[in-house]
């Protein structure tokens, strides 16, 4: 049985310490500002106190704890995949993808590249949507050569620019009679390709950096390990997509995280619905993150104008909640299309290496391979078994998992969800040519 014991000691400067108190949850120490009600979600006994920040070496031994949150965290490294994969049916992936058309964002690196390669290997036609022309062309050539499949195409597109998304979608539909699968997988954006249209209006470091995370993973396969991971919040380990720690807006007033992670996918999805409905098994899939578990949809501030100070980590996690709700709403609106979101686990990808070098150095021997992280993504894209599940669910290791922790305060009403979709549609119409 996989067990995980976690302790977090948040070290703050004196000014922040004066602003918030702390909860001690059987070894988990959080600033109250991170999640005031996290204690009820974890199922841990709450001890109210104001600890003096100490070096992790001075922490006392951690008591065993068991909760839904702990179970989810324990399943994310490679050991979790090794346990889950014992129940996988490999025949699920014995699929001929010939004649089927797949569109994949972020397909030039990491998990996205693995998904593109697996589909091309099975004869599928792959359209890679990427921002970086050089890395995209290199990835395309590598995939075509490895799979002996020449039906791999590159499209250069910045998802944060609605007008470019409109133009691409229109051109794609004139050149292709259908689309079978639309897949949103993001690579970590390069700062050298942001474009001059972005303007930083507020800059402040993440409030939740400088944290220490101790992970103890005990399984038959991996044995025991104890490592401290410094700089980075506990819930932001899979850094897929766009996450910046300053509020950046373009000439149209769109905030960059929101434009890239939420609005762009919404616009592209809505525009390609007609092409998807020409497929006999249409699918829309989204790679999300566990960061959504600590976020409730805030339909009153989609672009973080009221977030003071601005926090890129919180913005990213809010985007991930927005993506999941978007999938759920689209599933209700289009019952003839299969929609799903998924978590790939903690995988060894270029994005993780570049965005979180400290985490990578301490966890590199325990991270999933990019192929293991891509397994469920491929399964959702090609397997008929996946289609036996209801549309709109969230998956991890080929199984549906909850999108909220038990007793979570993160749940929203149907009216709140519809308010969110209405705002996205209003923005879509604003940029319609």
SS3 246: strand
* Per-residue model confidence (pLDDT) at position 68: 55
* Per-residue model confidence (pLDDT) at position 242: 55
* Mean pLDDT of the chain, nearest integer: 75
Q: Looking at residues 153-163, what average pLDDT do you find?
A: 96
341-386 confidence digits (pLDDT tens): 999 887 777 777 766 677 778 777 788 888 998 999 999 999 999 9
* Per-residue model confidence (pLDDT) at position 433: 66
Q: How confident is the model at residue 47 (pLDDT cuts 50, 70, 90)?
A: very low
* Per-residue model confidence (pLDDT) at position 2: 27
Dihedrals phi, psi of 284, to nearest 5 degrees: -125, 120
Q: Is 233 left (phi over 0), alpha (psi -120 to 50) or beta?
A: beta
* Per-residue model confidence (pLDDT) at position 287: 93
* Per-residue model confidence (pLDDT) at position 55: 38
* Per-residue model confidence (pLDDT) at position 121: 98
Highest mean pLDDT among 248-252, 316-320, 379-383: 379-383
Sketch the domain layout of the chain as residue ranges.
95-189+240-430
Q: Which residues are known catalytic residues?
A: 316
3 state SS for 36-68: CCHHHHHCCCCEEECCCCCCHHHCCCCCCCCCH
CATH of 95-189+240-430, one of 3.40.50.720, 3.40.50.1370, 3.30.70.2200, 1.10.150.300: 3.40.50.720
Instruction: Give 355 or 182, the one with higher predicted confidence.
Output: 182
The DSSP string of 377-432 is: HHHHHH-TTGGGSPTTEEEETTEE--SS-TT-S----HHHHHHHHHHHHHHHHHT-
Q: Is the confidence at residue 425, as pLDDT, over 50?
A: yes
* Per-residue model confidence (pLDDT) at position 412: 95
Q: Is the confidence at residue 43, as pLDDT, over 50?
A: no
77-128 confidence digits (pLDDT tens): 777 788 888 999 989 999 999 999 999 999 999 999 999 999 999 999 999 9
Whole-model pTM: value is 0.74
Q: Is the confidence at residue 12, as pLDDT, over 70?
A: no
């Amino acid at each position: 049985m996989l067990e995980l014991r976690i302790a977090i000691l948040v070290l703050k400067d004196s000014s922040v310490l004066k602003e918030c108190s702390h909860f001690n949850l059987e070894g988990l120490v959080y600033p109250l500002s991170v999640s005031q009600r996290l204690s009820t979600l974890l199922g841990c006994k709450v001890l109210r106190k104001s600890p003096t920040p100490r070096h992790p070496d001075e922490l006392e031994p951690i008591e065993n704890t068991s909760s839904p949150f702990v179970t989810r965290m324990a399943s994310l490294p490679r050991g979790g995949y090794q346990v889950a994969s014992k129940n996988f049916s490999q025949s699920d992936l014995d699929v001929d993808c010939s004649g089927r058309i797949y569109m994949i964002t972020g397909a030039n690196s990491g998990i996205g590249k693995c998904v593109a390669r697996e589909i091309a290997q099975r004869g599928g036609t792959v359209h890679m949507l990427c921002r970086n022309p050089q890395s995209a062309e290199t990835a395309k050539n590598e995939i075509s050569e490895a799979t002996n499949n020449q039906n791999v195409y590159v499209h250069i597109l910045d998802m944060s620019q609605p007008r470019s998304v409109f133009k691409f979608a229109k051109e794609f539909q004139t050149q292709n009679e259908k689309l079978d699968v639309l897949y949103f997988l993001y690579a970590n954006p390069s700062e050298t390709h942001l474009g001059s249209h972005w303007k930083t209006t507020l800059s402040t470091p993440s409030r939740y950096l400088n944290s220490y995370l101790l992970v103890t993973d005990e399984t038959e396969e991996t044995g025991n390990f104890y490592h401290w991971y410094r700089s980075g919040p506990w819930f932001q380990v899979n850094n897929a997509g766009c996450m910046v720690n300053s509020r950046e807006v373009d000439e149209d007033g769109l905030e960059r995280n929101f434009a890239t992670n939420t609005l762009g996918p919404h616009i592209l999805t809505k525009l390609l619905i007609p092409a998807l409905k020409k497929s006999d098994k249409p699918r829309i899939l989204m790679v999300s993150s566990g960061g959504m578990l600590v976020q409730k949809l805030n339909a009153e501030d989609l672009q973080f104008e009221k977030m003071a100070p601005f926090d890129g980590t919180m913005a990213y996690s809010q985007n991930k909640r927005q993506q999941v709700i978007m999938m759920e709403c689209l599933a209700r609106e289009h019952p003839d299309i299969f929609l799903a979101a998924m978590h790939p686990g903690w995988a060894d990808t270029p994005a993780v290496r570049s965005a979180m070098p400290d985490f990578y150095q301490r966890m590199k021997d325990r991270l999933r391979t990019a192929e293991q992280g891509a397994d469920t993504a491929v399964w959702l894209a090609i397997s008929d078994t996946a289609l036996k599940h209801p549309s709109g669910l969230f998956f991890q290791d080929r199984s549906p998992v909850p999108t909220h922790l038990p007793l979570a305060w993160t749940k929203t009403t149907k009216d709140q969800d519809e308010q969110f979709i209405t705002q996205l549609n209003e923005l879509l119409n604003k940029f319609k040519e």
